[in-house]
Amino acid sequence: MQFKLVPGGVLTGEVRVPGDKSISHRCVMLGALAQGMTRISGFLEGEDALATLAAFRAMGVEIEGPSQGNVTITGVGLRGLRAPTEPLDLGNAGTGMRLLCGLMAGQAFSTELTGDASLCSRPMGRVIDPLTTMGASIRSTEGGRPPLNIEGGRKLRSIHYDLPMASAQVKSCVLLAGLYSEGRTSITEPAPTRDHTERMLRGFGYPVQADAGVISLQGGGALQACDIDVPADISSAAFFLVAASIAPGSDVLLTHVGINPTRTGVINILKMMGADLTLENRREVGGEPVADIRVRSAILQGIEIPADQVPLAIDEFPVLFIAAACARGRTVLRGAEELRVKESDRIAAMAEGLSALGIQNAVLEDGIIIEGGTLGGGVVETYQDHRIAMSFAVAAVRAEAEITVLNCDHVATSFPDFQGLARRLGLQISVEAG
Ligand code: S3P
């Protein structure tokens, strides 16, 4: 499937983008392991979260839905999962695989975790290392890549782990293994990363401490089922935050967006660039802050992106690069080497696409320098990465000629019907067979 975009367009209207991917994965996992019935609304019916849901069904958990974002899970308790008869296929989802890895290390049965070609090329050593120190036994292919074979029946011991990189997936993996470990598991992170696991564990009645950058929990407790309202995903909203900012005359309201401070780097960075964003109707749902975000077009300026914002905007850089391409002057990003091990090498993929559209840029080992300019038309490759595809789709609002975005199937992993919503807001997007 590929996107074809007519240049130009003004974005107007009000939309609620689909549910948060990080939270959707986690509520299936914790709901399955809780005691009692967990009712979820606003669940992301994207392929990534559905793969996690299928994995728990394969381990004997009764799950109703999803139907219009509603899911009901009958929890089996921390020790109630059953051995799956086949490998668990997490599709394209790094979060699904890395978090599940921590949980599976604590089970009485062995499991194999696998995924699509992209996931099977991503590094898992970052979770295998701490889990092995905790006493797990995990086999991988060359270079710590999936499939992963996780041996059951191992006794886990708690550790203190100094995270070598700012990764919420690794932090969450260790915390989830910590549920099955004797004693207290603790972690320090080099910079704050998304804290949905910590918040949700507390929501399920499981104490988690976070003091002076040290996050810890005691193994051997129990989770109590609860109801969860999943906010709209700020990572999906980001495409329209940028599109409406760069398309003159735009005025869009994105409703019920999660604004957890560990996720709002995109808002902070866009505001530093001069974007006109206002947060209205702030409230809290199930331990997560949400707001409606109003965005009106504005003239953007290139900036040096502050290092502390990098982990807080890690998934939004592809679309922030489009904002930078449309800004006046130069934008510099450093300290973002993690972008190279996402669903694609996002620095290389974006640099290539920006060049194809006539935007000058220089690739750095850990970032990129982008000179604001005029976007031309052209054909861009996505390397089957959903966020690269959606980023170049929104670039069309400021392009001078038609843009074709190749290989867009993976958009369904995080943003089902992106094209429908985008069209409703004013993007001139059509879908063609690839
Ligand atoms: C996620 C953490 C981030 C992010 C990913 C979702 C999570 O990955 O990029 O899309 O839900 O914990 P890292 O932990 O690799 O930074």
What residues are in contact with ligand 1 under a 6 Å CB criterion?
22, 95, 167-169, 172, 194, 314-315, 338
Backbone dihedral region of 36: left (phi > 0), alpha (psi from -120 to 50 degrees) or beta?
A: left
Decide: 241 and 267 in contact? Cβ < 8 Å. yes
Exactly one of 48, 89, 116, 315 is catalytic; name it: 315
Which of 361, 324, 363 shows the shortest CA–CA distance to 340? 363
Distance CA 381, CA 408 (A): 9
Cβ count near 360 (within 10 Å): 13
Which of 223, 222, 166, 212 shows the shortest CA–CA distance to 189? 166
Mean pLDDT throughout 305-311? 98
**What pLDDT is recorded for position 357?**
98
Mean pLDDT throughout 362-388? 98
**What pLDDT is recorded for position 241?**
98
**What pLDDT is recorded for position 152?**
98
**What pLDDT is recorded for position 330?**
98
pLDDT over 90 at 424, yes or no: yes
Cα end-to-end span (Å), the chain: 4
**Which residue has the CA at smallest separation from atom 4 of ligand 1?**
315
Q: What is the pTM of this model?
A: 0.98
Report the CATH number of the 21-229 domain. 3.65.10.10
> For the segment 257-275, what is each residue's pLDDT rounded down to a tens digit?
999 999 999 999 999 999 9
Which strand (E) or helix (H) includes residue 235? helix 234-246
Closest approach atom of ligand 1 to CA 22: 11
CA of 126 to the centre of ligand 1 (A): 13
pLDDT over 90 at 212, yes or no: no
Q: Is 143 strand, coil or helix?
A: helix
pLDDT bracket for residue 396 (50, 70, 90): very high
315 is catalytic: yes
By most ligand atoms within 8 Å of CB, the mutation choice from 200, 310, 314 for ligand 1 is: 314
Distance CA 214, CA 232 (A): 29
Closest approach atom of ligand 1 to CA 342: 9
CA of 168 to the centre of ligand 1 (A): 6
Closest approach atom of ligand 1 to CA 126: 15
Closest approach atom of ligand 1 to CA 171: 14
Residues near 19 by beta carbon (within 8 Å), at least 6 away in sequence: 42, 43, 44, 45, 49, 69, 230, 231, 232, 233
pLDDT over 90 at 286, yes or no: no
Mean pLDDT throughout 319-326? 99
Mean pLDDT throughout 73-77? 98
> For the segment 155-179, what is each residue's pLDDT rounded down to a tens digit?
999 999 999 999 999 999 999 999 9
- Ranges in the chain annotated CATH 3.65.10.10: 2-19+233-432, 21-229
* 2-19+233-432 CATH pick, 3.10.290.10, 3.20.20.140, 3.30.420.40, 3.65.10.10: 3.65.10.10
Which of 304, 328, 339, 326 shows the shortest CA–CA distance to 392? 326
CA of 310 to the centre of ligand 1 (A): 12
Distance CA 410, CA 180 (A): 34
Q: Which two tokens stand for residue 141?
A: 């292919």
Residue 302: half-sphere exposure toward Cβ, Cα within 13 Å: 17
pLDDT over 90 at 325, yes or no: yes
pLDDT bracket for residue 219 (50, 70, 90): very high
- The torsion defined by the Cα of 343, 330, 358 and 335, in degrees rounded to 10, comes to -20
CA of 167 to the centre of ligand 1 (A): 6
CA of 156 to the centre of ligand 1 (A): 24
What proportion of the chain, given as a percentage, has pLDDT over 90? 99
In sign, the C-alpha dihedral spanning 349, 270, 213, 285 is: negative
CA of 6 to the centre of ligand 1 (A): 32
By most ligand atoms within 8 Å of CB, the mutation choice from 20, 21, 22, 415 for ligand 1 is: 22
By most ligand atoms within 8 Å of CB, the mutation choice from 27, 29, 95, 175 for ligand 1 is: 95
pLDDT bracket for residue 238 (50, 70, 90): very high
Closest approach atom of ligand 1 to CA 168: 14
pLDDT over 90 at 434, yes or no: no
Mean pLDDT throughout 214-224? 97
- Helices 94-104 and 47-58: crossing angle in degrees, nearest 10, is 20
Mean pLDDT throughout 223-249? 98
**What pLDDT is recorded for position 412?**
97
pLDDT bracket for residue 430 (50, 70, 90): very high
**Which residue has the CA at smallest separation from atom 15 of ligand 1?**
167
